[in-house]
Chains A and B, each alone.
Chain A
């Protein structure tokens, strides 16, 4: 059962990833991207990590994909992109991808992944939370500071002086 689900998810993820790159229509491309992200959420579910899976759906499918869709809808494609049909670049890209995938796969197989026992109980997300607070707190605080700095920077950059209008009162 898990094997069938794994195969189906693999087909969905890789197929929609290729579709996301190759579709002529940008809207359909971003829908296919949603399929890819959802397929990755399915992998997390198979790996007994429902916490990560649901966050993957809530954040990536629910927010990032919406952002992409929104941008695509508001922008006229013809104004930005020039269509370049180049067979050699395409094949070079496919070859590069194959080389990267094969080398990554070789590293994975070489890393002793076959000897891992898979019948262990799933990790409780409460343990992960406790680990975060106890052992990884410097990293958490650092991340928090970086995020806060980013948000402040974004707010400063996005700030503009509002034009005063007497007829609009808040």
Chain B
């Protein structure tokens, strides 16, 4: 019988745990707490309800919901929350992670397999966590003659670029990290970085398969960027703005896919190519060149690139939703929060429980419109992601020359047809000033 750890002793294990706890406590008391108090001298603390938020106040507020809610409200409106949690990285990473699991399970169902099954009691629901732990605990191996600085930086840069892309996506009215006037141009600028990072990572590994994969990725991304940009010009012409929030808001009565179906189809195909997904997964063709440009990446570096590519998938799907499917617009299906609880409180027999800070929180930040918009946005994005991962179970891989031929001739031609349709709609007066909107 083979045992993983033959010299295991429970007492030794408990002793090591106690040792760790002792050292952590000692270090926190001697180093951590003084460091926190030194940092607190420098950081300007927020003023909430006319009171400076000191650490003592924060701790006392933790047990009192009336005092805690304004603090939460103030935190929800900060930029750091937007960047890290809701419309930004955290939200996108959560969606991206769930996409990985859904994709594996869906592929399995399409191909009549079981898929992830044992990790977690219900249908292998903890498989992703297990994979993450495995990737974190694996050793990172750098190839012997690799160019170390670029090889280390590439996965981090990949995630950073994908996160910059995510930051431009408006999720609900007013809920966007970077609401810039030239949002769509920003998207084009960010997309341009992906081929650079890919080819640098592939070159720096100093190995054949990554380099072949990287060159394929470069060909594919650069040649499909042109139809991608051209296919979005129709929407820009009809809305007259490059701001993604305004484009989203302009589709309150109908989505642009009704008028510009060719542009939507071309954008969808170019999206598949930019994301390196089947049928355009030549850069990662596992039956020809091992794992393409990811071959030499190991451990958490591979995990970071995976995270980045799924963030990119979410961002592209969200961009499709914002430009063609109406973004957050949709019928109001989220019920309104009962006004009685905010104004009068909850009656429980003889006791009336009133919560003071609830009104401003629900009227200014987490409004009904915001919840409804987020719900519709997530539903539409999930639908688009479903159609992005569906070809993986259906189609084979295309050849390189067919791919380039498709990108350079057919798709660009279709893009121009789409632009002429948009111009025709504009000049015929169907849309734009005096038209339907």
Complex contacts, B181 vs chain A, CB 8 Å: 50
Complex contacts, A5 vs chain B, CB 8 Å: none
The answer on a CB contact under 8 Å between A51 and B199 is: no
Interface segment among A56-64, A103-111, A131-139, A140-148: the answer is A56-64
Complex contacts, A57 vs chain B, CB 8 Å: 189, 192
Task: Indicate if B200 sits at the interface (CB-CB under 8 A).
Answer: yes
Nearest-neighbour CB distance to chain A for B101, whole angstroms, equals: 33
The answer on a CB contact under 8 Å between B199 and A58 is: no
List residues of B (201-232) whose CB comes within 8 Å of A's CBs: 203, 211, 215, 218, 222, 225
Complex contacts, B180 vs chain A, CB 8 Å: 50
The answer on a CB contact under 8 Å between B182 and A69 is: no
Among B150, B182, B405, chain A packs the most CB atoms within 10 A around the CB of: B182
List residues of B (151-187) whose CB comes within 8 Å of A's CBs: 180-182, 185-186
Docked pose: A62 CA to B402 CA in angstroms: 24
The answer on a CB contact under 8 Å between A50 and B182 is: yes
Task: Indicate if B191 sits at the interface (CB-CB under 8 A).
Answer: yes
Task: Indicate if B188 sits at the interface (CB-CB under 8 A).
Answer: yes
Docked pose: A131 CA to B405 CA in angstroms: 37
Docked pose: A34 CA to B199 CA in angstroms: 14
Docked pose: A31 CA to B147 CA in angstroms: 13
Docked pose: A27 CA to B195 CA in angstroms: 15
From B150, B182, B188, B218, give the contact of A66 (CB < 8 A). B218
Task: Indicate if A65 sits at the interface (CB-CB under 8 A).
Answer: yes
Given the known A-B contacts A51-B182, A51-B185, A54-B182, are A61 and B199 also in contact in the complex, defined by CB atoms under 8 Å?
no
Complex contacts, A61 vs chain B, CB 8 Å: 189, 192-193, 196
A-B contact number at CB 8 A: 60
Docked pose: A77 CA to B202 CA in angstroms: 19
Among B181, B191, B196, chain A packs the most CB atoms within 10 A around the CB of: B196
Docked pose: A50 CA to B178 CA in angstroms: 14
Complex contacts, A63 vs chain B, CB 8 Å: 192, 222, 225
Closest residue to B240 on the A side, CB-wise? Answer: A126
From A58, A69, A70, A73, give the contact of B192 (CB < 8 A). A58
The answer on a CB contact under 8 Å between B195 and A66 is: yes
Docked pose: A38 CA to B199 CA in angstroms: 18
The answer on a CB contact under 8 Å between A73 and B199 is: yes
Docked pose: A58 CA to B222 CA in angstroms: 11
Given the known A-B contacts A57-B192, A170-B402, are A66 and B199 also in contact in the complex, defined by CB atoms under 8 Å?
yes
Task: Indicate if A6 sits at the interface (CB-CB under 8 A).
Answer: no
Given the known A-B contacts A50-B182, A54-B182, A70-B218, are A62 and B200 also in contact in the complex, defined by CB atoms under 8 Å?
no
Docked pose: A73 CA to B147 CA in angstroms: 13
Docked pose: A6 CA to B182 CA in angstroms: 22
Complex contacts, A31 vs chain B, CB 8 Å: 150, 200
Docked pose: A50 CA to B243 CA in angstroms: 13
Nearest-neighbour CB distance to chain A for B392, whole angstroms, equals: 24
Complex contacts, B211 vs chain A, CB 8 Å: 73
Complex contacts, B222 vs chain A, CB 8 Å: 63, 66
Among A51, A62, A70, chain B packs the most CB atoms within 10 A around the CB of: A62
Closest residue to B180 on the A side, CB-wise? Answer: A50
Complex contacts, B192 vs chain A, CB 8 Å: 57-58, 61-63, 66
Docked pose: A134 CA to B2 CA in angstroms: 83
Complex contacts, A65 vs chain B, CB 8 Å: 196
Closest residue to A162 on the B side, CB-wise? Answer: B401
Complex contacts, A62 vs chain B, CB 8 Å: 188-189, 191-193, 195-196, 225
Docked pose: A57 CA to B161 CA in angstroms: 13
List residues of A (9-42) whose CB comes within 8 Å of B's CBs: 27, 31, 34
Docked pose: A34 CA to B196 CA in angstroms: 10
Given the known A-B contacts A27-B147, A27-B203, are A69 and B186 also in contact in the complex, defined by CB atoms under 8 Å?
no
Among B150, B185, B191, chain A packs the most CB atoms within 10 A around the CB of: B185
Docked pose: A98 CA to B145 CA in angstroms: 40
Docked pose: A51 CA to B211 CA in angstroms: 34
Closest residue to A55 on the B side, CB-wise? Answer: B185
Complex contacts, B147 vs chain A, CB 8 Å: 27
Complex contacts, A51 vs chain B, CB 8 Å: 182, 185
Nearest-neighbour CB distance to chain B for A58, whole angstroms, equals: 4
Docked pose: A62 CA to B218 CA in angstroms: 11
The answer on a CB contact under 8 Å between A54 and B189 is: yes
Contact string, A69-83, partner B, CB cutoff 8 A, digits 1/0? 110010000000000
List residues of A (84-138) whose CB comes within 8 Å of B's CBs: 125
Docked pose: A140 CA to B367 CA in angstroms: 48
The answer on a CB contact under 8 Å between A70 and B189 is: no
Docked pose: A125 CA to B184 CA in angstroms: 14
Complex contacts, B200 vs chain A, CB 8 Å: 27, 31, 69
Contact string, B298-328, partner A, CB cutoff 8 A, digits 1/0? 0000000000000000000000000000000
The 6 closest A-B pairs by CB, nearest first: A62-B192, A57-B189, A54-B185, A58-B189, A58-B188, A54-B189
Q: List 19 A-B contacts (CB under 8 A).
A: A27-B200, A34-B196, A51-B185, A54-B185, A54-B189, A58-B189, A61-B189, A62-B188, A62-B189, A62-B191, A62-B195, A63-B192, A63-B225, A65-B196, A66-B195, A66-B199, A66-B218, A69-B199, A69-B200
Apart from the given pairs A51-B182, A66-B222, A70-B218, 8 other A-B contacts in the complex at a CB distance below 8 Å: A27-B200, A27-B203, A54-B185, A62-B193, A62-B225, A66-B218, A73-B215, A125-B182
